[in-house]
Each structure stands twice: as C-alpha cells, then as structure tokens.
Amino acid sequence: MTTLTSSNLIERIGNTPTIELESFSTRNVRIYAKLEWYNPYGSVKDRAAYWMIKNAEKKGLLKKDKSIIIEPSSGNTGIALTGIASTLGYRVEIVIPEKVSEETKNILRKLGATIHETSDDLCPRVGAGTDQSIALATAISKPRPDLYYMPNQYENDANFMAHYESTGPEIWKQMAGNLTHFFTGCGTGGTITGTSTYLKEQNNNIKVIAVQAQKNHLLQGLRNFEESAMPELFTRRQHVVDSWFTATNDESFRMAKELASRENLLVGPSSGAVMASMLDTAKSIDHGVLVGIFADDGRKFKSLYAEQHVFNQTEYERLIRINEYLPETACPYSYN
C-alpha cells in the first residue's frame, strides 16, 4: 500500500491514464476509457474530495487538529475524503447506510474514519438509503459549526471545479482535442458538469452522454433520477447533457465481464454501465472518438460480483493477478 503525505498528495491526484479499448474499437469508431482508479484512494472521487477540502481551507472553515469533516456517502467519496482529510490532519466521520458492503466499511475503518451507520427506520419522513445518511450528517453538523464541517458533495461547487480544472483539461490534452463524444456516470453531477463544461468550451460539437442507473439498482456511485432527486449541483448545469442512457444492472455486469475477458480490465459496476452506453452510441454512428470515465476498479466488489455471478472467486483472483492496470494505491483493499 502506498503511503501519502500532505506534501505529495496533490501530485498524486489526477493525471490518470486514458487507454484505448482496442478490442471494442473499430476502424472508424475508436473507444477510450479514462481509468480513474489510478487516483491514490482508488476512484474519481479523490478529485472532488481534495478540491472540497482545499476550498474549505481557503475559506477558513477548517482548523487543523480540531475540525471534524462529516459527510454522507455510500462509498468512494467517503473513502477519498477520509484518506485525504486524514493525510491533511483532520478527523473524519462518514455517515453510511447500514447496507453498504463490509468491504467498503472495512476500508473506511482502516483509513481512520468514524462510521455512523443509518437505517431506513431512523426518520422515515426524510427518505431511504443515502437520504437517511444525508439527514443524519446534517443533523450532527448543523448545530455544531465550530466543530463540524460537512462538504456536501451534492451542492458544493468545488466538486464541479475539480473536474472543470482537472478531468476536463486532462482528457482534452490526452486526446489532443480529438474526441467526438464524452460519457460518464451520474451521481452528484460533479464529474459530468465539470468535465463537459470544459470540453464544450474547447469544442462545442462534443456530444455529452449522461449515464444513469435503472431504478432499484446495484451500481454504486450512480443514481436514477426518477427515484432520487437530481442534486442541486447537477441541476445548475444540466444543459451540458446532450442525451441520457439508462443502464440496467444486468448489462452493466455483462459489460464488466466483457471488459475482463477482452481487455483484462477489472472494473467497478458503474464502469460497466458507461461501457454499455459507449457501445450503444458506437452502433449508431459511422465515425467517432468516444471517451468514457471508468470511475473505479473492481477491488471493492468481490462479494457483489460473487453474489451476482459476474466472477467466481477463481476468476476474480486471476483477474487481480494478471491485471496490468491495477496499480498499488493508498486504498487498503481487502479482496484476498
């Protein structure tokens, strides 16, 4: 496991590789993926977490060795915030739905977070799942502003800026401006609005495809905007989206399996959803260069993939062993 310090943290966030998925590309339609699990805590959320903390420091909202950062999260944001905030000298409390996987809870504990688990019966009128966690994190932080700071990734413009200032410019540079379509999954809306705003400023003809999950989904990090409200961060700049793709659990898992067999990539379920969307578009165009965000890898999803019959233990262990795209990070995975 890589150890980070406050001084080398920023150098390690971003600049993730973009690779061509050659077995899926055709002569006229090229398909690329940006591998966000190369970030130090293993996902695209490192960018938003770092930008939100730094922005709060600039505004004087955080005091080293005193402030507690509290955030509702069901996965990657909690991991990123805990890793980065601990490195920078802040305590972290993460509020998560109790049904979140034990793998994720273990990573959070190992990184030093205090975990508050919510259940849907705490306060039914605020909603279910993450909505309970948002309500509890708000209830804990609001009366104690001297002690707690809640970044609130669903409203915080630093989440947008992270992608406007890093993800967008990286893609533009890595592709040398040569892309026609951009795809990413949607949760808070930070990645899609920030990256797309930058890309469209460079070339307004780039088409942006937003990927959401089906209702009642198993795709961590994504939302379905019929069953969950669209976050304020997203509604502010929803105009960047040209079209929507709704990914099912089945096709996302099928794509995760295909990416493993054809490209030796062990991706997280939301990357499977993005891949399904890219192939759907690829079928309908004659020429194009497609770039998708693969938000995280599959190292946190061993039990989910086993339950959903995506990979059995032997296949999973083989993928981890042979995979050239699984770098050592600062995230304490426990997939063995």
Partner 1 sequence: MNNANDEIASKTIDVRGLFCPEPVFRTKLELEKLHIGEKIKIVADDPASEEDISRWVNRNGHELVSVKKADNDLEFVIKKAK
d(CA 157, CA 271): 24
Residues 6+ apart with CB under 8 A from 288: 28, 29, 30, 180, 181, 281, 282
d(CA 325, CA 202): 29
In terms of CB distance, is 60 or 143 closer to partner 1?
Answer: 143
Are the C-beta atoms of 321 and 231 separated by less than 8 Å?
no
Q: Minimum CB separation from partner 1 for residue 310, in Å?
A: 34
- Determine if residue 201 is left, alpha or beta; phi over 0 gives left, psi from -120 to 50 gives alpha, anything else beta: alpha
In terms of CB distance, is 139 or 285 closer to partner 1?
Answer: 139
In terms of CB distance, is 74 or 191 closer to partner 1?
Answer: 74
In terms of CB distance, is 126 or 218 closer to partner 1?
Answer: 126
In terms of CB distance, is 146 or 286 closer to partner 1?
Answer: 146
Q: Minimum CB separation from partner 1 for residue 80, in Å?
A: 24
For the segment 108-167, give every residue that binds partner 1 (CB under 8 A).
Answer: 116, 118, 121-123, 125-126, 132, 135-136, 139-140, 143
Number of residues that bind partner 1 (CB under 8 A): 13
Q: Minimum CB separation from partner 1 for residue 133, in Å?
A: 10
Phi, psi values for residue 91, rounded to 5°: -80, 155
In terms of CB distance, is 117 or 315 closer to partner 1?
Answer: 117
- In the three-class reduction of DSSP (H, G, I as helix; E, B as strand; rest coil), residue 246 is classed as strand
DSSP state, 254?
H
For the segment 14-53, give every residue that binds partner 1 (CB under 8 A).
Answer: none
Q: Minimum CB separation from partner 1 for residue 142, in Å?
A: 8
Q: Minimum CB separation from partner 1 for residue 109, in Å?
A: 17
In terms of CB distance, is 136 or 259 closer to partner 1?
Answer: 136
Q: Minimum CB separation from partner 1 for residue 239, in Å?
A: 35
Residue 73 in the binding site for partner 1 (CB under 8 A): no
User: How far is CA 308 from its chain centroid?
Assistant: 21
Start-end of H helices in 116-239: 130-141, 157-162, 168-174, 190-202, 232-235
For the segment 245-264, give every residue that binds partner 1 (CB under 8 A).
Answer: none
Burial of 104 (0-12, 13-18, 19+ CB in 10 A): buried
Q: What does the DSSP assignment read for 119-130? A: -TTS-GGG-STH
Tokens of 182: 């951009």
Nearest CA to 122 out of 92, 102, 142, 95 is that of 95
In terms of CB distance, is 70 or 88 closer to partner 1?
Answer: 70
- In the three-class reduction of DSSP (H, G, I as helix; E, B as strand; rest coil), residue 33 is classed as strand
Q: Minimum CB separation from partner 1 for residue 67, in Å?
A: 19
Q: Which amino acid is at 17?
A: P
Q: Minimum CB separation from partner 1 for residue 113, in Å?
A: 16
Residues lying near partner 1 in the complex (CB under 8 A): 116, 118, 121-123, 125-126, 132, 135-136, 139-140, 143
